[in-house]
Amino acid sequence: KAGVTQTPRYLIKTRGQQVTLSCSPISGHRSVSWYQQTPGQGLQFLFEYFSETQRNKGNFPGRFSGRQFSNSRSEMNVSTLELGDSALYLCASSLAKTSGGTDTQYFGPGTRLTVL
Amino acid sequence: DAKTTQPPSMDCAEGRAANLPCNHSTISGNEYVYWYRQIHSQGPQYIIHGLKNNETNEMASLIITEDRKSSTLILPHATLRDTAVYYCIVRVAFPTGGFKTIFGAGTRLFVKA
């Protein structure tokens, strides 16, 4: 079974631009979460999508947004980029089980965003 | 607000077992312990998880103490490719459903030839 895929893998943007990152979850997985990872702050939760709805949200400004499509694929968008947005953006998917034990989350390879 | 503590770094000789400890003394009764690892600049890789019984898969074994306050990840025959940062986590569940993963600082494992 194919793993979580993210595109693009690397991206260079300038301040003020916007960017869209894409994530394809493992087949059958309905929950997609996004994280930002930086050396200083570690792994920070951005938001989680389930059934095309944002179910949970972290503590990030409104410049960070996302969506999920009916096939569970997800995109996240960052508008008005700042230098501090340079990070590894990780997508993770899970089945979103509601019963029968735990729900394992699998991460994609990440998109490395550099803002100049 | 990581719920686990791990030693910052460990060394292991190639071919030997690597035993990585984790303390999760505040874990509640229905929370699972998860282990991931991350090789530099790559996405975290799921290794194994457990609730209270010891677990084994093709990658590793997980030993959880009877009181569930600590656990040990065992890589039975470490190779150079096992050099990575290893994260022991207890996830934070949302009341609306779902959860978030919080990585602490992890243990940087160096496997040496």
For every residue of B24-53, DSSP letters joined together read: -TT--TTPPEEEEEE-TTS--EEEEEESSS
Q: Which residues of A touch B98 (CB under 8 A)?
A: 31, 33, 48, 50, 55-56, 96
pLDDT > 80? residue B2: no
Residue type present at position A56: N
pLDDT tens, chain A, 116 aa long: 689 999 999 999 999 999 999 999 999 999 999 999 998 888 999 999 999 999 999 999 999 999 999 999 999 999 999 999 999 999 999 998 766 667 899 999 999 999 99
pLDDT for residue B28: 84
Summary mean pLDDT of chain B? 92
The answer, for A82 touching chain B at a CB cutoff of 8 Å, is: no
Across the range B5-30, mean pLDDT stands at: 94
pLDDT above 70: residue B1: no
Q: Residue A101: its pLDDT value, please?
A: 66
Distance from CA of A80 to the nearest CA of B (A): 25
Nearest residue of B to residue A106 by CA position? B46
**Rounded Cα–Cα distance for residues A48 and A34 (Å):** 6
Check if A60 contacts B (Cβ < 8 Å). no
Cβ-Cβ contacts under 8 Å for A92 (sequence gap 6 or more): A4, A32, A33, A34, A35, A105, A106, A107, A108, B101
Q: What is the pLDDT of residue A99?
A: 63
pLDDT of B37 > 90? The answer is yes
Looking at residue B40, its pLDDT comes to 85
The reply to whether residue A55 touches residue B32, judged by beta carbons under 8 angstroms, is: no
Residues of chain A neighbouring B46 (CB-CB closer than 8 A)? 104-107
pLDDT in tens, B55-110: 999 999 999 999 999 999 999 999 999 999 999 998 888 888 888 888 888 999 99
**Smallest CA–CA separation between B17 and chain A, in Å?**
25
Give the per-residue pLDDT at A109.
97
Can you give the length of chain A in residues? 116
Question: Smallest CA–CA separation between A108 and chain B, in Å?
Answer: 6
Q: Kindly determine whether residue A105 and residue B101, on different chains, have CB atoms separated by under 8 Å.
A: yes
Mean pLDDT score, B48-55? 93
Alpha-carbon distances of A66 from A45, A61, A85, B85, rounded to whole Å: 13, 12, 15, 29
For residue B105, what are its two tokens? 């600082």
Q: What is the mean pLDDT of residues B24-29?
A: 87
A107 neighbourhood in chain B, CB within 8 Å: 36, 43-46
Nearest CA in chain B to A97: B98
| 8-state DSSP, A9 | S
Nearest-CB residue to A102 (from B45, B49, B97): B49
